[in-house]
Amino acid sequence: MAPGQVGNVRAPLAVILLTIITLGIYGLYWQYSVFKELKEYSGEGIGGGLALLFAFLIGIVNIFVLPSEIGGLYTRDGQTPPVTGVTGCWIFIPLVGWFIWLVKVQGRMNEFWAGHTSPV
């Protein structure tokens, strides 16, 4: 199956700040968007709707599923995955874990998208 449209590159700091400013609402939108983009690109994964449902019901699941899906993109591309489900363990570091996790996950996603955009 040919890959679909490449997802959006997002600044991790912008995601962090918008999530804090909106008291988590942007974080839910971000999860929906990135899972949707991953599914549209690869045809695999849980997609935006199910990710949003997980975020509301059992949010910790997405912490592990998202880096796993990103790692799968790299694996299908013949590369070593820079993030895996184990990357979710960063979240358990008090106070800073979520920030580290988000920078790692969004950064690797940005690198993948940047490497797969067609030159204009």
Question: What pTM was estimated for this model as a whole?
Answer: 0.92
- pLDDT value at 120 more than 80: no
**3-state secondary structure (DSSP) of residue 11:** coil
Cα distance between residue 36 and residue 45, in whole Å: 9
Six token digits for residue 64: 């592990």
Closest CA to 38 of 28, 30, 26, 46: 46
Average pLDDT, the chain: 94
The residue type of 104 is: K
Amino acid 4: pLDDT: 81
Q: Is 33 exposed, middle or buried (0-12, 13-18, 19+ CB in 10 A)?
A: middle
pLDDT (mean) for 9-21: 97
